[in-house]
Structure 1
Amino acid sequence: MAPRTRKPERRTEALSRERIIEAAVELLDTAGEGGLTFRALTERLSTGAGAIYWHVANKDELLDAATDAVVTDALALKPARVPGSPQDRIRAVALGLFDAIDAHPWLAAQLATQLSRGPSKSVTPRILESIGQQVRALGVPESRWFTATTVLMHYILGAAGQNAVNGRAHGPGVNRGEFFNAVSAAWKQLDPDDYPFTRAIVDQMRDHDDRAEFLAGIALILAGITAGRSRTP
C-alpha cells in the first residue's frame, strides 16, 4: 500500500489588510526596512504574493500603513479622556509617541519621511490633531496655534527619535552606564578654553534619565507657550 502524502494545511485565517500590516510591523521590528520584502511577507503569512498585492500595491504603501498603524496605537488613548489639564494630556501624547518610537527602531525614520514628503497623509494630521486640540485648550491665541503645535511635535519626534538611536548605537552587550561614563571621560579631556560649557555639564550628561529629560523638555516648551498666551506675535 503506497504511503499517504500529507496535504498542506489550509489557512483557517482569512488574509486581510490588517493581518498584512501586522506582519509588516513584525518584520520591520526584527529585520528593519531592508528586511521588509514581499517575499519575506509571503513566507511569514504562508500565502502567495498575489494575495498580498490584492491588499497593498507596493512597499511604500506598506511602510505608510505600518507607520500609521503604530502611531494610531500610540495615540489610542484619546487626549480628551486623559484626566487632568491640557498640559497633562500633551505629556500623555508625548510619552505615547516616545514609547512607540523606542519600541519600533524603524519608526523615527518613517515619521521623518512622512513629515517631509507626505504631510497630506494620515500620520501628520493625526499627530497634529492630538497635540493641537490641547494647545487650543490652553488658551493659546489662534494666530499662534500652528507655531506652538509644530514646535511641540518636532521636539517630541526629534527627541524621541534621537533617544531611540542612542539606545541602539552602543552595540550589543554595551551597558548604557558604561557608555556614558566613557563619553563623560572623553568630554573631561576637552580643552577647557574651547569647551567650557561641555565640560561643565559632564556630570549632568552622565547621570541623566532619558525619560525625565524628555519630559523636562516638554515642560520647558509648555512654560514658554503658556507664558506667551496673552502676547501678540
Structure 2
Amino acid sequence: MTKTVRRSEQGKGARTRERIIDAAVLLLDADGEAGLTFRTLAMRLETGHGAIQWHFSTKGDLIAAAADVVVGRALTGAAPGAGAGAREAIRAVALAVYDVIGAHPWVGDQLARPPWAGAMLKIFERLGRQVVALGVPAEARFTATSALLIHIVGAGRQEAINSHSLQARTDRQDFLDDLAAHWGQLDAGEYAFTRTMADQLRGHDDRAEFLAGVDLVLAGIEHLEHAAAGHVPRPSTHARR
C-alpha cells in the first residue's frame, strides 16, 4: 500500500514538473528569459511560488531544465532514414539542433553557457557516437566532436539572433540587398576579399550554408579517418632548407 501511494505521488510530481516546464517554454518563446519569472509562471499555472520552487530552486535551474527537455525532444526525432550512415546521422542531429534553436532562440543562449551540461552533453554524446562510427582515431575524437558541436550550436545561435533582429526591422532579402551593396562599396585595399563576397551574401540560403559548414567539418574529420588508415600522405619530416 505504501509503495503504491509513493509511486502515485512520484507520478503526480513528475506531471507537475512537466507542466511547469511546458509553461516556462511558452513564456520563454514569447518574451525571452526576461519574460520568465516565478511570479508570471505561477499566475500562468494558477498556483503558488512554493509549488514551482519545490521543483526548481532558481530561474536558472528552470531554464536549464526547459532547454534539456526541448533539445531532448528534438534529438529523439533526429533519426535519418533506414540504412543511413554516420555522416547522415550527424547531419540529422545538426539540423535538429539548428531548427530547435531557431524555434526557441533562448535555447542557443542556454547551450552557450558554461559548463557543458544537460542539453549540451546530450548533443555531444549523440555526435560523439557517430564520430566513433566514422572510424576517427581515439586521440582525435574529442577535437572532431567539439568542432562539430561548436559549429552547430554557434551557427544555430547566430542565425536565431539574426532572424529575431530582422523580424523586428525589415524583410530579410531587403536587409541582405542593403548589406551586399554596402560590402560592394568598401575600400578595395582594406576589404579586397569581402567586396568579392557581396553577390554571394545577397543570394545565400542560411540553412544551406549551415549544412555546408557541417560538411566542411565532416570533410576534415574524414581526412583524419583516412590518415589513420594510411590512405592520406602525411607531411614530410625532412628538415626545410
Pick the TM interval, shorter chain.
Answer: 0.7 to 0.9
Identical counterparts, % of pairs: 47
Q: Deviations over 1:153-189 (max 9, x none)?
A: 0000001111111111224351100000000111111
Q: Does 1:88 align with 2:88?
A: yes
Residues 132/80 of structure 1: CA separation in 2 closer, same or farther (3 Å cut): farther
Query: What does residue 9 of structure 1 align with?
Result: none
Q: 1:81 and 1:51 mapped to 2: Cα distance?
A: 43
Q: Where is the helix percentage greater, Structure 1 or Structure 2? A: 2
Query: What does residue 204 of structure 1 align with?
Result: 200
Q: TM-score, normalised by structure 2?
A: 0.85
Uncovered stretches (5+) of structure 1, i.e. residues with no partner: 1-12
Query: Contact 1:141 / 1:230 at 8 angstroms: preserved in 2?
Result: no
Mapping 1:76-155, distance limit 5 Å:
76-77=76-77, 79=79, 83-113=83-113, 116=114, 118-119=115-116, 121-155=117-151
Query: What does residue 73 of structure 1 align with?
Result: 73
Mapping 1:55-74, distance limit 5 Å:
55-74=55-74
Query: Contact 1:79 / 1:130 at 8 angstroms: preserved in 2?
Result: no
Q: Count the aligned residue pairs.
A: 217
Query: Contact 1:132 / 1:149 at 8 angstroms: preserved in 2?
Result: yes
Q: Deviations over 1:165-214 (max 9, x none)?
A: 11112243511000000001111111111111101011001100000000
- In structure 2, give the amino acid aligned to 1:89: A
Deviation at 1:231, TM superposition (A): 2.9
Query: Contact 1:82 / 1:88 at 8 angstroms: preserved in 2?
Result: no
Deviation at 1:142, TM superposition (A): 0.8
Query: What does residue 27 of structure 1 align with?
Result: 27
Uncovered stretches (5+) of structure 2, i.e. residues with no partner: 1-11, 229-233, 235-241
Deviation at 1:83, TM superposition (A): 4.0
Q: TM-score, normalised by structure 1?
A: 0.88
